[in-house]
Amino acid sequence: DGGITQSPKYLFRKEGQNVTLSCEQNLNHDAMYWYRQDPGQGLRLIYYSQIVNDFQKGDIAEGYSVSREKKESFPLTVTSAQKNPTAFYLCASKDELTGDNSPLHFGNGTRLTVT
């Protein structure tokens, strides 16, 4: 079955450490996204990428970095510069070929806890 795989599901880190969250998709989608979810705040866009080797900052990119070396993969690094990194992180993808009206497809998320 096609889908988006995020790993690990739960991640624990000490403050001051960088951590990388994995996102892999086999849907052959061009566009990929990273969202952060906090209770009562909905989803906030961190970064998105419409094509390999290109990505754009979203609304809350500070303290995060991404790469898009392969179409299938869009890893997110949470750096030590991110002041409040504990959150639920969601990766999504979108089929650009079917046009603007395609929905987002989501992975099952990674819950990051930093202490």
Partner 1 sequence: AQSVTQLDSQVPVFEEAPVELRCNYSSSVSVYLFWYVQYPNQGLQLLLKYLSGSTLVKGINGFEAEFNKSQTSFHLRKPSVHISDTAEYFCAVSEADAGNQFYFGTGTSLTVIP
Binding to partner 1 (CB under 8 A) within 82-101 occurs at: 88, 90, 92, 94, 99-101
Find the shortest distance in angstroms from Cβ 24 to partner 1: 14
- For partner 1 (CB under 8 A), the number of binding residues is 28
Q: Are 79 and 87 in contact (CB under 8 A)?
A: no
The structure tokens 């046009």 sit at 99
Which span sits near partner 1 by CB under 8 A: 14-22, 60-68, 69-77, 103-111? 103-111
Euclidean distance between the first and the last CA atom of the chain, given in angstroms as a whole number: 36
**Phi and psi of 15, rounded to 5°?**
-55, 140
- The H or E element containing residue 21 is strand 19-25
Find the shortest distance in angstroms from Cβ 9 to partner 1: 8
Binding to partner 1 (CB under 8 A) within 14-73 occurs at: 31, 33, 40-43, 45, 48, 50
Say which amino acid occupies 79: T
